[in-house]
Structure 1
Amino acid sequence: MEKSFWLEKWQKNEIGFHNREAHPLLVEHFARLGLGQGDRLFLPLCGKTLDIGWLLERGYSVAGAELSEVAVIQLFEQLGIEPQVEITGDLKCYRAPDIDIYVGDIFHLTREALGSVAAIYDRAALVALPLEMRRRYTQHLVQLTGSARQLLITFEYDQEKMPGPPFCVSDGEVAEHYAVSYTLKLLQTVDVEGGLKGKCPAEEKIWLLESKSPVA
């Protein structure tokens, strides 16, 4: 999927994928990450999700990566925070106390630039990418974070009825991407009310991924 696809979505405000509240599955299962106050989470392809505000309000630190600068500007406006903007390699970083959002191609984000994270919350990254890019993304994410523990949200539905995004990511595919580095636990499966985009029945799933080796 071309970068221009997502940049145009944000430019035209075609963001039906943007929820108006913190994700219920995050709220319900966040404690499973076993984090302490002040721990830092990484949210890949974060957009302007209200999940970030929810996490900050509870005393956690957030790092994110987002292709669209429009989304990041709107995120900080939404939070009522005035960020400092720095150039970090090939990316910009919008930075304020307890929050660092890297703007640009996530594949250009390095482990050195990101720094240490205690956990990953992937609500909208894996499902936003076509299959070949998902393979590349998951390998990059493991390397980028030292296989930090993860809450992962996926969708499962008949891909022939809707082309995506969000894309169907089956249980088997989750294992294909992550079983080498993580133990996988499916925490909950819920039916998508009204179907995905109103087009076809779908299930939304939340996974807990725990590293098989200590985070370096």
Structure 2
Amino acid sequence: MEASFWHQKWERGDIKFHENETNPLLIQHFGKLNLANGSRVFLPLCGKTRDIAWLLAGGYRIAGAELSELAISDLFKELGLEPTISKVGKLTRYSAKDIDILVGDIFDISTEYLGPVSAIYDRAALVALPARTREQYTSHLMKITGAAPQLLISYEYSQLLMDGPPFSVTEDEVKQHYGAAYQVKSVERKNVAGGLKGKVASTESAWLLQKTGK
């Protein structure tokens, strides 16, 4: 998707993809990553997700990436935090205690800009990207994080009935992107109540990705 597509969605308040509650699959399965208290978790294309507040409350530190500065301004307001704002290359960094968000194109983020992370939580990044971009994204994500362990959430439905975002990402595709670097394990698969966007039957899946050999 072009950057303008997402900027316009945030400016119009057309953010049906924004969940008003913590994602149940995060609550149910995040503990399976076995992270130490204080571990730093990276949320790519994070928006102003309520999942961040849940992770902070659980004692984790947050790193994030998001295209929309409006979304991140809203996020800090909702968290009740006053950010320190600085420039990092082509990106803008919003920082406060235990949270650093890089605003801009995720492909402009380097390992140096991101810093070390213990895990990745991808609820809305892989599924937000069209097929032609997903391979570039997954390769870049593994590169900048050192293939940190990951909790990934995906959707699967017939794109003949509806196009994304969120896009349909099959089990085969998850394994195609990540199978060489990770052990890919399905930890839950459930039907989306009422259908995705209330339009099409869909399943939502949670995947645990651990480095091969662990």
- 1:20-169 correspondence to structure 2 within 5 Å: 20-169=20-169
Give the TM-score normalised by structure 2: 0.99
Residue 13 of structure 1 is matched in structure 2 by 13
Tell me if the contact between 1:181 and 1:213 (Cα under 8 Å) persists in the aligned partners: no
> Residue type matched to 1:11 in 2?
E
CA displacement, residues 11-49 of structure 1 (integer Å, 9 cap, x when unaligned): 100000000111000000011010011000000000000
Residue 204 of structure 1 is matched in structure 2 by 204
> Residue type matched to 2:19 in 1?
N
Unaligned runs of 5+ in 2: none
Distance in 1, matches of 2:213 and 2:96, equals: 31
CA displacement, residues 103-133 of structure 1 (integer Å, 9 cap, x when unaligned): 0000000001100000000000000000010
Give the TM-score normalised by structure 1: 0.98
Unaligned runs of 5+ in 1: none
Distance in 2, matches of 1:211 and 1:115, equals: 19
Tell me if the contact between 1:119 and 1:150 (Cα under 8 Å) persists in the aligned partners: yes
Q: SS state of the match for residue 135, structure 2?
A: helix
Q: SS state of the match for residue 159, structure 2?
A: coil
Distance in 2, matches of 1:55 and 1:196, equals: 25
**Offset of residue 211 of structure 1:** 1.1
> Residue type matched to 1:4 in 2?
S
Instruction: Note if 1:179 corresponds to 2:186.
Output: no
Q: SS state of the match for residue 186, structure 1?
A: strand
Distance in 2, matches of 1:212 and 1:29, equals: 19
Distance in 1, matches of 2:158 and 2:6, equals: 23
Q: What fraction of aligned residue pairs are identical, expressed as a percent? A: 54
Distance in 1, matches of 2:58 and 2:210, equals: 22
RMSD value, Cα: 0.8
Aligned length: 214
Distance in 1, matches of 2:116 and 2:45, equals: 18
